[in-house]
Amino acid sequence: MTKILSVFVFLVFLLPSNLMQKALAQDFVEREAIPMNPEKGKDTRVFYSVFVQSFYDSDNDGIGDIPGLTSKLQYLKELGIGGLWLLPVHPSPSYHKYDVEDYYDIHKDYGSLKDYKKLVKKAHELDIIIILDLVANHTSNKHPWFKKAISGNQKYRDYYVWSDNPKDFEKEPYQWHQVRNDKGEKQDGERYYGFFWWEMPDLNFDHPQVREEIKKIGQFWLGKIGIDGFRLDAVPHYYPDDQLNKNLIWWREFRAGMDEVNPDAFIVAEIWGGAEKTSPYLKSGISAGFNFELSDTIRKSVLSGKNLGIVETVINIQEQYFVSNPNFEDATILTNHDMDRIMTELKRNNNMAKVSAALLLTLPGNPFIYYGEEIGMLGEKPDEYIREPFLWNIEGEDSGQTNWEIPYASSSKTVKPLFYQKDDRMSIFNHYKSLINLRNQNPALSQGSISPIATGNSKIVSFFRYSGTQEAIIIINLSSEMERILTPYGLDGFEMAYSNFNVFKINDKEIYLQPYSIFILTR
């Protein structure tokens, strides 16, 4: 037991193990969490979200590709990653590729289907699962289906949504678009619906053939390519907001189609909003929805230096999810490819970034790390600036460094590259790596239930995680100042699993915690 631990254990209350949970419930726990399903918990993984174009370049064209990503799987394994979400990889006219031209192929800059199969095979050998970003709410206006539709082919015209009603155009002037000719000139006549952009026409999911097409696409990737699931784009927008039930019916149909190939497929959905918006989809075969509500609470708490109900938010969300699906899962994030990067949000404060990571990786759910978060990459909208090249080394020092875009936010002048962070014990990279691997090794953190521990200090986040075989206590100071909490009664047998600071001062009644200090004790 280290000196830090011996001091810390002095402040804690020693109890026999079989009385532990009862004592917490009586003395510390303000509210009991819903127990996690142990069978579901076995599959909890830390995911890594990667924009292939910016990750690693294998052929020196400046653009990241699938072989380059495959060559870096060992890096991800050592980081502790168990799942990989690739942002869209299909042929597309845009850099972001959220407007698909062909659902059965890989963009030529990224490689080939053969390369993708090699990625999946190698990832599986390392026990890393792969999920595909499936963008099926709309296609590119260059997709063969849409080209045939505007050429007069009635079969494919029915694949899209059309109107000649001026009242529709008045109601949603930015969603109804005129067909354009080869010169880009707008044509009179019926207009097509495109919720996001005129180059992204929405598919008509009232048409049975469209639903069959999308199910076939999903079955192809699960069955022929061997992926393990999907990240579904724009899930609530397949039907209008006032047709929620039709949306839920569609996703049940989609899930049933995927179950024919892989009943264990992990399907995570983009559903912006709180638990009340996500919960209905958990009844319809969606494995999990991204938890934007928790992300928001973590970010605001860390920025303010005050706990704005982080654990209470988790429990509130769990309760709503449980009603929809007792076997619910969660997908937690700090930020993603549509949001300003967390390090920028936190005003480049390294300590705040470490605290945020500690919260993400000790709270329940499947944490998703956006590529570059683990080295503190920066970026704010427009979108290109939050999808910049990953910094493996100083520019020019690694032949695989992508350069498709000149970095605006994250260069070696503003962010220490991975090469130099690896040997820095105090780097944000080693902080992420230590926390991820601790989570992977400890069932209480990876699949356990959660209960808050009352501290009497609004600047401290403290909670208890417990599974059938492991227990953990997390205490985090969100503040930039020394903070005091009342000394708990103590917890026998706990050992310090991770800390970024020594406890500054302890006595029989109080603990004094250094600014941004993080303590994880396990038993």
Helix (H, G, I), strand (E, B) or coil at 192: strand
Q: Which has the higher per-residue pLDDT, 489 or 217?
A: 217
Helix (H, G, I), strand (E, B) or coil at 388: coil
Angle between helices 310-324 and 292-304 (to 10 degrees): 170
Task: Delimit the domains of the chain by residue range.
Answer: 3-29+453-522, 44-135+208-441, 144-193
270 is catalytic: yes
Q: 36-48: per-residue pLDDT in tens?
A: 544 444 568 999 9
Confidence (pTM): 0.92
Which residue among 65, 115, 133, 233 is the active-site one? 233
Q: What is the pLDDT of residue 258?
A: 98
Sort 448 into a burial class: Cβ within 10 Å, 0-12 / 13-18 / 19+: buried
Q: CB atoms < 10 A from the CB of 18, how many? A: 7
Q: Are 425 and 433 in contact (CB under 8 A)?
A: no
Q: Report the residue count for the chain.
A: 523
Local confidence band at 490 (pLDDT 50, 70, 90 cut-offs): low
Q: What is the pLDDT of residue 485?
A: 86
Q: What is the pLDDT of residue 486?
A: 79
Q: What is the pLDDT of residue 240?
A: 92
pLDDT of residue 11 exceeding 60, the answer is: no
Region of poorest pLDDT, from 8-17, 241-250, 480-489? 8-17
Q: What is the pLDDT of residue 182?
A: 82
pLDDT of residue 215 exceeding 50, the answer is: yes
pLDDT of residue 401 exceeding 90, the answer is: yes
Q: Among residues of the chain, what percentage have pLDDT more than 90?
A: 82
Q: What is the pLDDT of residue 30?
A: 46
Q: 306-365: per-residue pLDDT in tens?
A: 999 999 999 999 999 999 999 999 999 999 999 999 999 999 999 999 999 999 999 999
pLDDT of residue 370 exceeding 80, the answer is: yes
Local confidence band at 251 (pLDDT 50, 70, 90 cut-offs): very high
Q: What is the pLDDT of residue 181?
A: 86
Q: What is the mean pLDDT of the chain?
A: 90
Angle between helices 244-259 and 208-219 (to 10 degrees): 40
The dihedral sign for the CA sequence 6, 8, 10, 13: negative
Q: What is the pLDDT of residue 502?
A: 64
Task: Determine the average pLDDT of the residues in 411-434.
Answer: 97
Q: CB atoms < 10 A from the CB of 336, how many? A: 21
Among 47, 44, 66, which Cα is nearest to 55's? 66
Task: Determine the average pLDDT of the residues in 106-135.
Answer: 98
Among 467, 466, 465, which Cα is nearest to 475's? 465
Q: Which has the higher per-residue pLDDT, 211 or 467?
A: 211
Which CATH number is 44-135+208-441 given? 3.20.20.80
Q: Are 337 and 373 in contact (CB under 8 A)?
A: no
CA distance 429 to 357: 10
> If residue 518 lies in a helix (H) or strand (E), which one and from where to where?
strand 518-522
Task: Determine the average pLDDT of the residues in 263-285.
Answer: 95
Which residue among 57, 202, 228, 270 is the active-site one? 270
In sequence order, the 6+-apart residues with CB closer than 8 A to the CB of 298 are 310, 334, 356, 359, 360
Max intra-chain CA distance, the chain: 82
Task: Determine the average pLDDT of the residues in 498-509.
Answer: 71
Q: Among residues of the chain, what percentage have pLDDT more than 70?
A: 89
pLDDT of residue 7 exceeding 60, the answer is: no
Q: 19-42: per-residue pLDDT in tens?
A: 333 333 334 444 455 555 444 445
CA distance 367 to 415: 23
Q: What is the pLDDT of residue 113?
A: 98
Which CATH number is 3-29+453-522 given? 2.60.40.1180
Q: What is the pLDDT of residue 2?
A: 38
Q: What is the pLDDT of residue 17?
A: 32
Bridge partners (DSSP) of residue 48 are 84, 369
Encoded tokens for 344: 């920028």
pLDDT of residue 88 exceeding 90, the answer is: yes
Task: Determine the average pLDDT of the residues in 219-228.
Answer: 98
